[in-house]
Structure 1
């Protein structure tokens, strides 16, 4: 079969977008899933016709390639039990089932990053073939533990390339992030809040609100947008409002303007009653909430114009952001010198995906407990646990370095590998500790990337996803030194001993 000819741009564009909708806290609109699943069947048929044209033998396809779950919402709900990962748990056992889930959820996170890159013009054709191949591998119900683990690492390798693609799409369009003092308190005037992760949607909103007297605020992981030259040059991008996704119900209810959710992290708007001024875009959806599918954000803008906005300026409070790889590596000689002399004794990466469950104060407490001669690199919404804390500096370098969104995990990887190469050591030989907070599938993809790179002794917590069964945790601990978090008092000395 001539694989180079068996390609369809519509399938390649549809796949990551459709997978993205299935991530945690993305799309809750059942009607849109009915449409997506029907479209997926059409795409599957297009793929089969392409394969036939290339001479493929389709007589022995696996069940997912021929399965028909139904067309209506009722039929799809009834069929859901047939598609669950855990339907053969008794037959296959928790290790095999858990590893399949690890691959699946890693692919979901990878799909989200690929979709973020695609909508900014990233060339997803460079990676999508491997995405299809790993998904096809799962369709065969593999059961060999070593083969499953090898494919999990392939997801990590694929995600590394996807994150590189996304990094290039972001910086190619908006420039390299710059160190920026960003306001985190509101100012007087009508307002529109943009949450999620999508820099492209934010750019469009800024363009469409220019000259209208509406102040635009970022929320959640879009905080990072304020450090990109191509975005922060807009004078009506006035700062960031609020913190991590799990606080949005309280924060959105208090925000006196319209709100646009651009990607994952949406939670129920009806509990606090702001659904009439909430709008969704991209893969996000909520029943009854206006969805913007054509990048025309005027409905949200007009809604903002009907709302009072903030009555007065609040006290001007600020934090520093913009410590991506370009910034940090721009002072690499200084940093390397400080590491060699012991002025910087340890590097911590503390961040990831936050959540509301008890125990996540661990990451706040760990950041504040790190020694005065250590640097803390943070990214993802986990940083909101401690990014307003005053942690001082070591010489010219702030101790707390905000590297950006979870989408910017590539920056952290490049910083670690570049420092290791410059010092002539492996990453695992650096005075480096990683404490990663978990919640959803993007974190899974990033973890698999770190494991693919051979990075060991990662502290993961405060709780692990259900699919990471005790058997899978034991397997990853044995192969990669993965360590569930316990307490700061116990973990911090172990981190420092590891790097001594």
Structure 2
């Protein structure tokens, strides 16, 4: 195996990728290699789907399959090799079905059939054969021939597309799809299938992935608000209450809603964990009285959090890590998530989960009440935009810091808590993503009634942050880069890569990125990003705060 798609690889002695029998995320070599082969297979599906579109017979089922398949290959999503064998055979079947659709089109002869290794691939009959095939298509294939810059840029595009696929899949499971998104996925994966080598073209394509991701994030925002209402500021209890309990993690709000319906009136309290925290701000979901609070911290703390939780756990979309023995028998997966030996629930059939909750003890007593406030989406923030603008003009608010992105277990991430708590009292901290768990229980106070900490949501809510920045720039008659705003981004996995590409595509400059730079970003590519966009690695919180304020002054 070879994998360098997440930030954990920088903890290796070489710092340039996992290449042993097991990655730092817990993914074994078999699963890693099957994931590479699945990406290869998806390229073939994309080639056929793009021809179908050109012939006037676009295939949205193929598009939906590509979203789900790519999502399963993200960091900490699916570790079950059996599921990947199934997906590989499904990929070949989808590709061949679209091929037949193309050949049946009246104008089939007008557009030549695609060629190449991905379109011609046939899945081997057994696991051993699949692994032989996978050895020919690792993410760093062609390194000796084309060099690390080309391979790294191909990886940047692929990882950005994995993030795009995850966000688009979140929207699709809520019933929100868009033809232009399917077309964009087909085009990008078809581009990668051509094994491109021109560096400027690769850089342009990476930015186009960012533009596609902006459309996808807007679609996801419409899906969440259209289904569950507009988020509003909400105090969320973070201390358990007595009673039977279920813990829900991940991003899939549709799974949470289905579970809330199935547990209504059964005496079971439902808690969110990690990325599910923003659920409490949606009117449709917060209307369920047994959605009682948030439990635990960020995803990397789950082995401790889950072991201490006295009920079953549901992982709905991503960020699973190896289940510990104290809770392995009471954790369930759904959607793209998988781990060998865990019970996987499909089609919102949560009966086994509910039965486990009723059989387990739950919390014996209430703990002292403690709350945090979430739900400062764009509507909430822009609803007080006048007061915010007045406070800036009066000098009461000197600067905004957007501290967003993933959390993780690697050293150096205390930088983000140091940055947030060290920000001067006349500044406002906007936050989204799991990095907030390092400081969201800190008391920041307020400026003229405006909270100094505004929780915008998770990475899925990045569209809100972009809209807020755009609206403020319009109000101040300046560009986003001229606002008293600094972006401090914590990356970990492929959704963060997609969001970063979106910010670059929008022309956002001077982003500080950490705690380490991606291993697939070579020195030459980094130099290009520094020259073109002012990308900067983090240093230390105190110096970076001072530099941001000095630049703004």
1: CA distance between counterparts of 2:223 and 2:113?
Answer: 40
The gaps in structure 2 that reach 5 residues or longer are 1-50
Asked if residue 215 in structure 1 is aligned to residue 266 in structure 2, the reply is no
**Is the 8 Å Cα contact of residues 168 and 177 (structure 2) preserved in structure 1?**
no
Deviating more after overlay: 54-63 vs 388-397? 54-63
Match of 2:74 in 1: 23
| Aligned counterparts of 1:57 and 1:342: Cα–Cα separation in 2 | 62
Shift of 1:161: 0.4
Contact 2:92 2:123 in 1 (8 A): no
Secondary structure, aligned partner of 2:227:
helix
For the residue of structure 2 that corresponds to 1:435, the secondary structure is: strand
Counterpart CA distance in 2 for 1:304 and 1:251 is 16
Alpha-carbon shift at residue 275 of structure 1 (Å):
1.5
Among 21, 25, 36, the alignment partner of 2:87 is 36
Whether the 8 Å CA contact 1:94–1:471 is kept in 2: the answer is no
1:374 is matched with which residue? 427
1:397 corresponds in structure 2 to: 450
Conserved? CA contact 1:185–1:314, under 8 Å: yes
1:60: Cα distance to partner? 5.3
CA distance in 1: counterparts of 2:210 and 2:344, whole angstroms: 33
Structure 2 counterpart of 1:356, from 371, 395, 409 = 409
Q: 1: distance between equivalents of 2:348 and 2:120?
A: 35
What secondary structure is seen at the aligned counterpart in 1 of 2:270? Answer: strand
Check the 8 A contact 1:31/1:73 in 2, yes or no: no
Tell me whether 1:258 sits opposite 2:312 in the alignment: yes
Note the C-alpha offset of 1:478.
1.4
Superposed, which structure 2 residues align to 1:101-112 within 5 Å?
101-112=155-166
The 5 A counterparts of 1:294-373 are: 294-373=347-426
Aligned to 2:144: 90
Residues in 2 aligned to 1:151 and 1:110: alpha-carbon distance in whole angstroms: 14
Instruction: State the alpha-carbon separation in 2 of the partners of residues 449 and 129 from structure 1.
Output: 18
* Cα contact 2:508–2:533 (8 A) shared by 1: yes
Displacement of 1:69: 4.5
**1:9 alignment counterpart:** 60
8 Å CA contact 2:509–2:535 kept in 1: the answer is yes
In 1, are the aligned partners of 2:150 and 2:197 still within 8 Å (CA)?
Answer: yes
Q: Distance in 2 between matches of 1:79 and 1:360?
A: 38
Relative to the length of structure 2, the TM-score reads 0.88
CA distance in 2, matches of 1:485, 1:433: 12
- C-alpha deviation, 1:58, in angstroms: 4.0
Aligned residue number for residue 133 of structure 2: 79
CA distances 1:187-240 after superposition (whole Å, capped 9, x unpaired): 101100000011000000000000000000000010110111000000000000
**Unpaired stretches in structure 1, ≥5 consecutive residues:** none
Residues 235-263 of structure 1: per-residue CA shift (max 9 Å, x gap): 00000000100000000000000110001
Q: Give the corresponding residue for 1:440.
A: 493
CA distance in 2, matches of 1:376, 1:489: 15
**Inter-partner Cα distance in structure 1 for 2:533 and 2:372:** 36
State the partner residue of 2:502.
449
Residues 98, 469 of structure 1: 8 Å contact kept: yes
**In the alignment, structure 1 residue 115 sits paired with structure 2 residue 166:** no
8 A contact 1:351–1:363 mirrored in 2: no
Q: Tell me the SS of whatever aligns to 2:64.
A: helix
Would you say the 8 A contact 2:404–2:435 is kept in 1? yes
1:380-419 alignment runs, 5 A limit: 380-419=433-472
Q: 1:8: Cα distance to partner?
A: 1.5
**RMSD after superposition:** 1.3
Q: C-alpha displacement at 1:62, in angstroms?
A: 2.5
Structure 1 residue aligned with 2:16: none
Matches of 1:187 and 1:123 in 2, distance apart? 39
CA drift at 1:4: 6.7
Residue 488 of structure 1, aligned match among 529, 538, 541: 541
Question: 1:100 & 1:486 partners in 2: Cα distance?
Answer: 28
Shift of 1:87: 2.1
How far did 1:9 drift? 2.6
- Tell me which residue corresponds to 1:47: 98
Q: 1:226 matched to which residue of 2? A: 280
The CA distance in 1 between the partners of 2:111 and 2:363, in whole Å, is: 64
Q: For the residues of structure 2 that align with 1:476 and 1:51, how far apart are their CA atoms?
A: 40
Residue of 513, 524, 535 corresponding to 1:471: 524
